[in-house]
Amino acid sequence: MIAFENVAYSYGGGELLSGISLRLAPGSFHFLTGPSGAGKSTFLKLCYAELRPTAGHITLFDRDVRSLSRDDVALNRRRIGVVHQDCQFLDHLPLAANVALPLTVAGRGSEASDLTDLLGWVGLGSLADALPPSLSGGERQRAALARAIIMGPDVILADEPTGNLDWEMSLRLLTLLVELNRMGKTVLVATHDLNLIRQAKAQIPARVLRIAKRRIQLAGADL
Amino acid sequence: MNLLSILAPDRQADRVVPPSGHTAWLTQFTAAAMAFLAVFALALSLAAGRLADRWSDALERTATVRLSAPEDQIDLQTAAVLEVLTTTPGITSARALSDDEQRALLEPWFGPDLPVDALPLPRLIELTEDGAGYDAEGLRQRLAAEAPGAVLDDHTRWRRPLAVAADRLRLLGLLSIGLIAAATAAMITLAANAALAANAQVIRVLRLVGARDAYIARAFVRRFTLRALSGAAIGTALGMIGVALLPSTEAAGSFLTGLGFTGAGWILPLTLPPLAALVAFLATRASAFRKLRELT
Ligand SMILES: Nc1ncnc2c1ncn2[C@@H]1O[C@H](COP(=O)(O)OP(=O)(O)OP(=O)(O)O)[C@@H](O)[C@H]1O
Ligand SMILES: [Mg+2]
């Protein structure tokens, strides 16, 4: 689904990531950990073609990302749901319209009932008409998850999705991600939270990738 | 994305970009002011064109030589005048009017029974000049020498520089319209760039959720095109009312009172609003695609 082949990336200075080869198989669940500034967000951006590798090849749905036009990149975003670390919304539109935004820009209408169900599923049913600036950090992260999955993507990439959540809410969000994975979605979650990873491994066979010294390795079973 | 599809209502696309506030008003106002000016430039150009045509027509007409001489010398001097005229460069032909023709000319004033033979009327000699014209001062001097009773009446010649000036005025009017269109394009490009820059965050979010460039650009282009169209419509209407209200005292027949639209000429200013919309469409589309590539 997403394959890295000897990929390197640098923002212009030294190489941030190098020699990365890995595959995210369909239906797999991965965590990505590493110190702050190690390049987790950068790795995710490479996965959804926001950034292009400075060396090596990334294959996305069987196509080299270098061969993608701007429109292809836009169309790919409809197949990959992304929860960004800094959840950005259109501040002038109510939450429900923001969650439905991927459908709107794709020229597809949304069933009002589906949207209500989805908002209820992430616990935001009562906030459908609220404007994003009035939401708490946790509410924004759940809204971002809802927006990421509304198109029914094959892949879900989440960057620190529990960064602003208390433990109870984190577990709830993890449950949502596990549910999505059980429905067959490929999931990749970047997180610092080792407790969350332990909790997940108790439920599903999640694998843990660790960024260290510019490389990404499969972490040991001790986590 | 074409001009007509952009004018169709599209609430969804309108909503994803927040109202752009003053840039939109600025665009509408600019389009209105420019259209207002363009109406007057157009009126000026058309009026100058009419004037140039009328005066050039007059120039094509013939000039006349009036010859007054004692009865016994008239035929001699007529022959002398014709000789001078036919040998003057720039004059293609010359002929003396017959008595019948002279009577026909005078009839409206004196009635049909005028005894032309018995009256000491001056003889009229008509001449036709070629495009380049002739040297009037030289001709006068030669006529004075050969036929003292001959007077060259070239009342239309003084209009030649005026006809040229009117022609230039028409060109200046058209040039003004071109400049107004260019200035409008520049203003709208600036306003569109400002709106795109102010909405960089919105554009980033739209790209992240899978919006294509054409979709995002459309929201902006549509807004500016509609503003330019409505602004130009208002400006054109005001300008046309202004032109229609100009006092039309035909008596003076001067240039200013001729400043207006006549007949089908009233249709021309109606092309200004669509033209403004087209200018806005092209200008915003170009800057939107450029800016989008810059931003994401
Ligand atoms: N656009 C950019 N231009 C230049 N450098 C950047 C850019 N974005 C990130 N970086 C740098 O790249 C490094 C990795 O950033 P990244 O956001 O991928 O880290 P991270 O692992 O996600 O960190 P965190 O856990 O704090 O979110 C950081 O040192 C950061 O300063
Ligand atoms: Mg990060």
Q: How many CB atoms lie within 10 A of CB A94?
A: 16
Q: Do A90 and B18 touch (CB under 8 A)?
A: yes
| B180 and B44 part of one domain | yes
Answer whether residue B262 is part of any domain.
yes
Q: Which among A7, A9, A11, A47 is the best mutation to test ligand 1's pocket, defined by most ligand atoms within 8 Å of the CB? A: A11
In the prediction, which pLDDT does A95 show? 95
pLDDT-based confidence at B112, cuts 50/70/90? Answer: confident
Mutation for testing the A interface, residue in B209, B212, B213, B292 having most A CBs under 10 Å: B209
- The DSSP call for residue A127 is G
Q: Do B212 and A71 touch (CB under 8 A)?
A: yes
Q: How many CB atoms lie within 10 A of CB B61?
A: 12
| B77 and B213 part of one domain | no
Residue B13 CA to residue B135 CA, distance in Å, equals 71
| Count of A-B CB contacts under 8 Å | 56
Answer whether residue B261 is part of any domain.
yes
Residue with tokens 């001729």: B258
Enumerate the H helices of chain A as residue ranges.
40-47, 70-77, 95-99, 101-105, 112-121, 137-149, 167-182, 194-203
Token reading at B54 = 């009328």
Distance between A134 CA and the closest CA of chain B, angstroms: 17
Q: Do the Cβ atoms of B10 and A105 come closer than 8 Å?
A: no
| B39 and B135 part of one domain | no
Structural domain span for residue B80: 69-148
Closest partner residue to A88 (CB to CB) among B12, B201, B293 is: B201
Is the pLDDT assigned to residue A119 strictly greater than 50?
Answer: yes
Domain final residue, candidates B148, B183, B218: B148
Q: Do the Cβ atoms of B265 and B225 come closer than 8 Å?
A: no
Q: Do the Cβ atoms of B190 and B65 come closer than 8 Å?
A: no
* Digit-coded pLDDT (tens) for B179-220: 998 998 899 889 888 888 888 899 999 999 999 999 999 888
Answer whether residue B61 is part of any domain.
no
Q: Read off the pLDDT of each residue in A136-153 and give the average, rounded to a whole number.
A: 91
Q: Which among A42, A157, A213 is the best mutation to test ligand 1's pocket, defined by most ligand atoms within 8 Å of the CB? A: A42
Q: Is A64 helix (H, G, I), strand (E, B) or coil?
A: strand
- What is the predicted ipTM? 0.89
In the prediction, which pLDDT does B110 show? 74
Answer whether residue B56 is part of any domain.
no
Answer whether residue B43 is part of any domain.
yes
* Digit-coded pLDDT (tens) for A14-67: 889 999 999 999 999 999 999 999 999 999 999 999 999 999 999 999 999 999
Phi, psi of B94 (to 5 degrees): -150, 140
Looking at residue A201, its amino acid is K
| B94 and B41 part of one domain | no
| B140 and B179 part of one domain | no
Domain final residue, candidates B148, B180, B206: B148
Answer whether residue B163 is part of any domain.
no
Edge-to-edge, what's the strand order for the sheet holding A17-24?
A: A17-24, A2-9, A55-60, A63-64
Reduced 3-state DSSP string for chain B: CCHHHHHCCCHHHHHHCCCCCHHHHHHHHHHHHHHHHHHHHHHHHHHHHHHHHHHHHHHHCCEEEEECCCCCCHHHHHHHHHHHHHCCCCEEEEEECCHHHHHHHHHHHHCCCCCHHHCCCCEEEEEEECCCCCCHHHHHHHHHHHCCCEEEECCCCCHHHHHHHHHHHHHHHHHHHHHHHHHHHHHHHHHHHHHHHHCHHHHHHHHHCCCCHHHHHHHHHHHHHHHHHHHHHHHHHHHHHHHHCCCCCCCCCCCHHHCCCCHHHHHHHHHHHHHHHHHHHHHHHHHHHHHHHHHC
Closest partner residue to A101 (CB to CB) among B19, B204, B209 is: B209
Domain final residue, candidates B148, B177, B203: B148
pTM of the model: 0.75
Q: Do B210 and A90 touch (CB under 8 A)?
A: no
Number of domains in chain B: 2
Q: What's the whole-number average pLDDT of chain B?
A: 83
Answer whether residue B204 is part of any domain.
yes
In the prediction, which pLDDT does A71 show? 92
| B263 and B173 part of one domain | yes
Share of chain B above pLDDT 70, in %: 89
Closest partner residue to B16 (CB to CB) among A76, A84, A104 is: A104
Q: Which residues line ligand 1 (CB under 6 A)?
A: A 11, 16, 34, 36-42, 85
CA of A126 to the centre of ligand 1 (A): 35
For residue A90, the chain B residues in CB contact (below 8 A) are: 16, 18, 202, 205-206
Interface of A to B at Cβ within 8 Å reads 50, 70-71, 74-78, 82, 84, 88-93, 97, 101-102, 104-106, 147, 151
Answer whether residue B156 is part of any domain.
no
Residue with tokens 């620190």: A160
- Top pLDDT among B153 and A135 is at A135
- Top pLDDT among B8 and A165 is at A165
Q: Check the CA dihedral B71-B73-B76-B82 and report its sign.
A: negative
| B88 and B23 part of one domain | no
Is the pLDDT assigned to residue B12 strictly greater than 80?
Answer: no
| B141 and B74 part of one domain | yes
| B99 and B197 part of one domain | no
| B33 and B95 part of one domain | no
| B103 and B201 part of one domain | no
In the prediction, which pLDDT does A168 show? 87
| B210 and B275 part of one domain | yes
In the prediction, which pLDDT does A223 show? 46
Nearest ligand atom owner, CA of A32: 1
